[in-house]
């Protein structure tokens, strides 16, 4: 690392592992120009990202993320890449409005809540399979990696033995796997081919009066708003979007949640004694160890943010993770606090019209996991140093997270 830290060094492995001190070095200078990195689905080693502006303080991130008129979510590099564009994430109005109306009905709270028994069963099965009491367990290699993939496979009616495929597709698309461009492309093509066949088969079953497989896939196919339904291609791409985002981001979140329980014994004990604290813990983990770190926008006209004159067509990287550590909004951000009055202002699910629709599903998996940990174990102890992934700044999460679960006496 150079002595004078700049935005061109944000991709250094040391930064990716623990970006927050480096955000602190740059936040007061935001916006800054010269950062290069890859949107989800693009190909390191093949695609060539443009240099971008970086916004790091809370107000600047909020301003860019909220202003969907002047900062487009359409990403030319992602669109020109061989990978499929993500639904909603890469759409602007009016198309975004139409798609979100349908997707909002699919992800309405009552529908997600109805999935609780199935999610509980998958959590219980994964804990029975992967956890061993009183012995070190690396929760990232199995439980955190596989549970979200199994949930997504269930939601789309996929065979149980495809959980590893879901995991591979997600890590390849979301750039957290250090693999060759050829392997990444192969996973993308494999995923899209599967979903195309799977959606077509299930649409045929519905047309014959048969029940489709998978509650989320069923909802994508059947949901209608104001006479509008998703097209075949839109359903396929929604399946891809939900799968790669739901499997990868939730995997990192579960690992980060367990890390908090292991590294802050007082927090764990408070939760053991008061399960009603989960909501506060959940929100503060999203701020303190929120997986999503940044997404790109593209300026649609010349505009000034802070002291920066941003030109039409310039890329702007919104660093949600840096906003979560802005001391002007979250005092003493390096302290894990359950009494933050503004905890719900974290930006780990985005901001504005692009706020993540899948957030309730991620919370359902996290809440089920936390509840069963509390029911089963007296303590969660650190069994070795956690190793934070250093491949991509798209997500902040662990590559290895060894802990010991102490059974209740």
Are 271 and 374 in contact by the 8 Å Cβ rule? The answer is: yes
Backbone angles phi, psi at 47, to 5 degrees: -75, 155
Task: State the pLDDT at residue 377.
Answer: 96
pLDDT of 80 over the 70 cut: no
pTM of the predicted model over 0.75: yes
Task: State the pLDDT at residue 63.
Answer: 95
pLDDT of 400 over the 80 cut: yes
Query: Which of residues 277 and 409 earns the better pLDDT score?
Result: 277
With vertex at residue 180, the alpha carbon angle to CA 175 and CA 183, rounded to the nearest 5 degrees, is 90
User: How many other β-carbons are positioned within 10 Å of the β-carbon of residue 180?
Assistant: 11
Domains in the chain, CATH or no CATH each: 7-407 (1.10.630.10)
Task: State the pLDDT at residue 106.
Answer: 81
Q: What is the mean pLDDT of residues 308-335?
A: 97
Q: Which of 17, 29, 75 is nearest to 53 (CA)?
A: 29
**What distance in Å separates the CA atoms of residue 355 and residue 208, rounded to the nearest whole number?**
37
**What distance in Å separates the CA atoms of residue 130 and residue 118, rounded to the nearest whole number?**
18
Backbone angles phi, psi at 201, to 5 degrees: -60, -40
Q: What is the mean pLDDT of residues 353-372?
A: 88
Q: Is the dihedral of CA 117, 122, 128, 131 positive or negative?
A: negative
pLDDT of 373 over the 90 cut: yes
| Burial class of 130 by CB neighbour count within 10 A (0 to 12, 13 to 18, 19+) | middle
Task: State the pLDDT at residue 104.
Answer: 79
Task: State the pLDDT at residue 325.
Answer: 98
Structural element, H or E, at residue 347: none
pLDDT (tens digit, 9 = 90+) per residue, 352-361?
Answer: 766 777 888 9
HSE, side-chain direction, 13 A CA sphere, residue 226: 6
pLDDT of 2 over the 70 cut: no
Structural element, H or E, at residue 55: strand 52-55
Task: State the pLDDT at residue 62.
Answer: 95
Sort residue 214 into left (φ over 0), alpha (ψ -120 to 50) or beta.
left
Q: Which residue has the tokens 């109805």?
A: 114
Task: State the pLDDT at residue 96.
Answer: 67
Q: What is the mean pLDDT of residues 212-235?
A: 87
Task: State the pLDDT at residue 353.
Answer: 62
Locate 90 and state its tokens. 């890469």
**pLDDT confidence bin for 111, thresholds 50/70/90:** confident
pLDDT of 155 over the 70 cut: yes
First to last CA, the chain: 49
pLDDT of 92 over the 70 cut: no
Among 98-102, 187-191, 225-229, the minimum mean pLDDT is found in 98-102
Q: Mean of the per-residue pLDDT values for the chain?
A: 89
Task: State the pLDDT at residue 83.
Answer: 61
Q: Which of 403, 375, 367, 389 is nearest to 131 (CA)?
A: 403
Beta pairing partners, 380: 405
Q: What is the mean pLDDT of residues 83-110?
A: 72
pLDDT (tens digit, 9 = 90+) per residue, 232-280?
Answer: 988 898 888 888 888 889 999 999 999 999 999 999 999 999 999 999 9
- Distance from chain centroid for Cα 182: 24
Task: State the pLDDT at residue 204.
Answer: 92
Structural element, H or E, at residue 293: none
Percentage of the residues of the chain whose pLDDT score is greater than 70: 91
pLDDT of 98 over the 90 cut: no
Task: State the pLDDT at residue 291.
Answer: 94
**pLDDT confidence bin for 78, thresholds 50/70/90:** low
Task: State the pLDDT at residue 1.
Answer: 44
Q: Which residue has the tokens 């359903």?
A: 235
**What distance in Å separates the CA atoms of residue 404 and residue 337, rounded to the nearest whole number?**
24
Torsion of CA 296, 300, 304, 309, to 10 degrees: 80
The alpha-carbon radius of gyration of the chain (Å, integer) is 21
Are 405 and 377 in contact by the 8 Å Cβ rule? The answer is: yes
User: How many other β-carbons are positioned within 10 Å of the β-carbon of residue 245?
Assistant: 25
Torsion of CA 326, 327, 332, 336, to 10 degrees: -30
- Distance from chain centroid for Cα 223: 25
**pLDDT confidence bin for 109, thresholds 50/70/90:** confident
Q: What are the C-alpha distances in Å from 172 to residues 40, 44, 149, 219, 239?
A: 9, 11, 13, 26, 16
**What distance in Å separates the CA atoms of residue 346 and residue 329, rounded to the nearest whole number?**
10
Among 88-92, 144-148, 194-198, 363-367, the minimum mean pLDDT is found in 88-92
- Distance from chain centroid for Cα 7: 23
Percentage of the residues of the chain whose pLDDT score is greater than 90: 63
């Amino acid at each position: 690392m150079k002595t004078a830290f700049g935005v061109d060094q944000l991709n250094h492995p040391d930064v990716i592992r623990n970006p927050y001190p480096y955000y602190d070095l740059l936040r007061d200078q935001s916006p800054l120009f010269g950062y290069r990195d890859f949107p989800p689905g693009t190909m390191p080693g093949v695609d060539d990202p443009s240099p971008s502006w970086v916004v790091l303080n809370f107000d600047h991130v909020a301003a860019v993320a909220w202003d969907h008129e002047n900062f487009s979510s359409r990403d030319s590099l992602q669109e020109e890449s061989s990978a499929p564009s993500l639904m909603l994430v890469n759409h602007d109005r009016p198309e975004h409005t139409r798609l979100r109306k349908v997707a909002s009905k699919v992800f309405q709270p009552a529908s997600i809540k109805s999935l609780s028994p199935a999610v509980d069963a998958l959590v219980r099965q994964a804990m029975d399979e992967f956890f061993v009491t009183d012995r070190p367990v690396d929760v990232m290699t199995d439980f955190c990696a596989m549970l979200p993939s199994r949930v997504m496979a269930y939601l789309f009616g996929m065979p149980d033995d495809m959980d590893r495929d879901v995991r591979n597709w997600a890590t390849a698309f979301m750039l957290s796997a250090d693999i060759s461009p050829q392997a990444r492309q192969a996973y993308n093509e494999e995923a899209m081919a599967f979903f195309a066949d799977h959606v077509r088969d299930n649409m045929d079953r519905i047309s014959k009066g048969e029940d489709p497989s998978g509650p989320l896939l069923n909802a994508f196919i059947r949901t209608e708003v104001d006479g509008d339904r998703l097209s075949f291609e839109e359903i396929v791409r929604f399946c891809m979007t939900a799968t790669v985002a739901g499997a990868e981001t939730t995997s990192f979140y579960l690992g980060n949640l367990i890390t908090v329980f292991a590294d802050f014994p007082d927090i764990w004990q408070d939760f053991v004694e008061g399960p009603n604290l989960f909501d506060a813990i959940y929100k503060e983990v999203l701020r303190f160890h929120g997986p999503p770190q940044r997404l790109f926008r593209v300026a649609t006209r010349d505009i000034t943010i802070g002291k920066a004159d941003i030109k039409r067509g310039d890329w702007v990287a919104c660093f949600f993770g840096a906003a979560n550590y802005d001391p002007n909004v979250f005092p003493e951000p390096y302290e894990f606090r359950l009494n933050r009055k503004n905890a719900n202002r974290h930006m780990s699910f985005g901001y504005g019209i692009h706020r993540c629709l899948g957030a309730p599903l991620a919370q359902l998996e996290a809440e089920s996991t936390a509840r069963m940990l509390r029911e089963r174990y007296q303590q969660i102890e650190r069994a070795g140093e956690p190793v934070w992934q250093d491949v991509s700044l798209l997500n902040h999460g662990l590559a290895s997270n060894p802990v010991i679960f102490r059974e209740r006496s």
